[in-house]
Amino acid sequence: MFEYFYHEILRRTVIGFGTLFNDINIRHTDSSDNTVSELKVPLAYGPTQKFLARLEQVADLNKPTQLSLPRMSFEMIGLSYDPSRKVTSTQTFIAGLNSDKKKPRKTYMPVPYNMSFELSIYTKLNDDMLQIVEQILPYFQPAYTLTVDLVDQIGEKRDIPVVFEGITMSDDYEGNYQTRRSLIYTLRFTAKSYLFGPISDPSKDIIKKVTVGYVTGDRTDTPTRDITYSVQPRATESYTNNVVAQLSADITEIATVLQVSDASSIAVGGVLVIDDENFRVASKSGTKITVERGYDSTTATNHVLGTDIKLITAADADLIEFGDNFGFDGF
């Protein structure tokens, strides 16, 4: 506990929320319904009070440095635990291969948190406000689902529902005709996100040997052990790339005899790998190898002269990776 980690989940969710509203436009038309101008509404992150203060400080319509309207801003205003989406806190899962496509990652189940947002819209014309609101509300019924890449290390993408909670309307229009009018609509949303804890490497948790003891007789305090059965799984891939020979002739998908360049390192019972197919050696005579095709649930296919033949050894078992079935295919 308390080890350093930072997945940027809250930051990613904030950015994802903001991107929902960064392409909203308004149009102004003349009496003939011809478009006179079209404007993309600026969007910024910050509290509503910041923009209201700017409007009040520079309210003169004749000053070129005034804050232009329409404009939108948003901010995260709260974070709360959501017990309705809780799962077992001690449950772990191994998910996602990271960018090198080799190492798995293990983490505890994520913790559900609700992120509260406010989106504020500022305009001086009522029609501008209605255009903006009407481009937003139809997508929330009452939620819009946003897909966010939460944790890069495990490739974890989650659908985050963004729920529309309500809207507050304000019309600040006081003073004389030189005073600037500002319409303010505040839309409230809740994003149902998840927070992940630290990510660990589960390779040390892989079971590589199992021993089972069988006992017989009556139930006593000191039962007699009858037999012990020990299983040590083996690799189904040649991680060491141990090339021991090459094919001396083409073979079809139904052939069971291989002609190889050198059989000195190949033993009966061994497992060979040619391309993506595994072979179990049944017998050998000189450089001719009789094999069982499609071993370890691989698919028998054609192979051509000169293809490398790899031998799976004990050294490969020490390099077993996540996703390898250890030779146990359930049959």
Query: Which pLDDT tens digit goes with each residue over 116-156?
Result: 999 999 888 889 999 999 999 999 999 999 999 888 777 77
Identify the CA nearest to 89 among candidates 197, 211, 220: 197
Phi, psi of 30, rounded to the nearest 5 degrees: -95, -170
pLDDT of residue 92: 67
Q: Sheet containing 277-285: which strands, arranged edge to edge? A: 243-246, 308-311, 271-274, 277-285, 288-295, 257-259
User: Given the DSSP bridges, would you call strands 25-29 and 35-40 parallel, antiparallel or unpaired?
Assistant: antiparallel
Q: Which pLDDT tens digit goes with each residue over 200-218?
A: 766 666 666 777 777 666 6
| pTM, full prediction | 0.58
CATH architecture of 206-214+231-331: Beta Barrel (2.40)
Selection from 87-91, 182-186, 215-219, 274-278 with the highest mean pLDDT: 274-278
Spatial contact of 279 and 224, defined as CB atoms under 8 Å apart: no
CA distances, 176 to each of 39, 64, 169, 173, 308 (Å): 28, 20, 22, 9, 90
Phi, psi of 191, rounded to the nearest 5 degrees: -100, 120
Same fold, 9-202 and 206-214+231-331: no
Q: Sheet containing 182-195: which strands, arranged edge to edge? A: 43-45, 71-81, 111-123, 182-195, 156-172, 143-151
User: Given the DSSP bridges, would you call strands 71-81 and 43-45 parallel, antiparallel or unpaired?
Assistant: parallel
Q: Which pLDDT tens digit goes with each residue over 14-70?
A: 999 999 998 899 998 888 888 888 889 988 888 877 766 666 555 554 454 445 788
CATH topology of domain 9-202: STM4215-like (3.30.2000)
Domain boundaries, the chain: 9-202, 206-214+231-331
